[in-house]
Structure 1
Amino acid sequence: MSAMPTDPIDPAALTPDQARALFRAGLRVPTAGWCAGRTQANLIAVPREHAYDFLLFAQRNPKPCPVLDVTEPGQTSARLFSGDMRTDLPGYVVYEHGEPVAQVSDATEYWRDDLVSFLIGCSFTFENALLEAGVPVRHIEQRRNVPMYRTSRLCRRAGDLGGPLVVSMRPIPAEQVGDAVRVTARYPSVHGAPVHVGDPAELGIADLDAPDFGDPVDLRLGEVPVFWACGVTPQAAVMASRPKFAIGHAPGHMAITDARDSDYIVP
């Protein structure tokens, strides 16, 4: 199970610069609840030769892959992220031919000058709005990483890139499911409304206590599992399609951007 910080620092009160400094110094921790009001993003960096296929994949699969920003080849910062993408996330996964070959807190030695980095919207962005609406967010309550699952739903292919939809799950009291849908639907650039409510078997998920990424959380009496499209989908596509090289964030260990959650609310 992923560890959450136990020191007196209040992660929610930190600025993006302060959080990135901690990650640069080696802190490896899931980022749900960090830097309240600031937008978090998934990272996937691919060689320039694969960048068009990935951009097309994202365009064809906007629910799990809402693109917030894209760099030029070799750039290590972006308009929305003034830090260093090689060092300022709490964790990275390095892939070769679709296989994870390293999990690191500093990706500098693996970074290449031809990498194009994509920042993909993250559902952590709407969690503060859920909390303000009185909807519980169980993985924050339990200080765990959000549970994420590969599904039996396939994304639309783009060139050589394809793979399954990945979803994140939050248990929601049955009487508050409508509130959760209403709140998150206002954030279409960070996955928006859920893709499924209820029986996980309809998504091909056999066991909620065995997520493919992240940690299991408690599903309590009277609660319903609610599933949102997840920005780990590009990494599932990398694992399924096996390009020669890619770097992604460690699931749940996000890029904390300079943007504000309020930038992505649709009235």
Structure 2
Amino acid sequence: MATTFETLHTVTTTEGRNAARAHALAALADPKVTGLPAHELQQLCTLLAPAQAAIAEQRQYLQRGGPRRKERGDHGRPLLTPADKVLITVVYLRRVCPQKVLVELLGINPNTIGRAIRETRTLIEEHQIEFSQTSHYFSDIDELRNWLDNDTTTTRIEAARALTHPDLTGMTRDDFQALVDRISVSYRASIEQRRHRQRGGERRPGTRGGLFRQKITDADRILATVLAQRQLCDQQTLAELFGVSRGTIRNAVDDVLPLLQQHGITPAPAIRQFTTAAEVLDLIASDTDHKSPS
């Protein structure tokens, strides 16, 4: 049976499109997507609402060419409410998917999505609020639909999550996430500095930032480097586990290792070494609930 997501672009009535969009927004508000409990997302919306209202009023003032001449009318629900704009901005900042996927998922003009994210991101940055990058990265709308509809992940995402097992990283999952949060900012800064040198200057206006071209996420790269430094297995085995080339793993280690060293982080050597990807996965499968570090 077709899901609401699959029928978004096939419904012919405004009512049908609005219902499909509402369903998609409700799915995006799931804590597994936003990384926030429902009450914290609501608190963020409440915090930003006054500034959002001021921006909207200023835009309307400029469009009218002066102050409002009569009382505000009730024109129905807008395509995106202030809370919707906060939601999609949080999803975007966590790098769940690029804007083009949000455009397809919600059936909204790219300019509308882009402006909503741009304005809301500015407000979030003014409050110095940051969001950790999720490992749930989707460059394709069908993968995102499947994950939202079925509460399942792709094989690559499942593997990356499994590889944060404490017996592999030598730390609890909470400690590993703290490490990712600590290193990610420095990692993105170093990558941008390198691209700046390669370009010979600032990125030209209108060009893409390249945030969504990577085969694995920043968190995956940090994870691969930790596993490599623990000498858990060789880089070819890591490549098989992450579903990428050995060159991708080698580049990840080359980029992330100096940052670990700068932060004084030295992963402890693993007690056990593995020669194949199957051996690593067998360990995970035999003790999926184990929490203590090796």
> What is the TM-score normalised by the length of structure 1?
0.27
Task: Looking at secondary structure, tell me which structure has more strand per residue.
Answer: 1
> What is the TM-score normalised by the length of structure 2?
0.25
Structure whose CA Rg is larger = 2
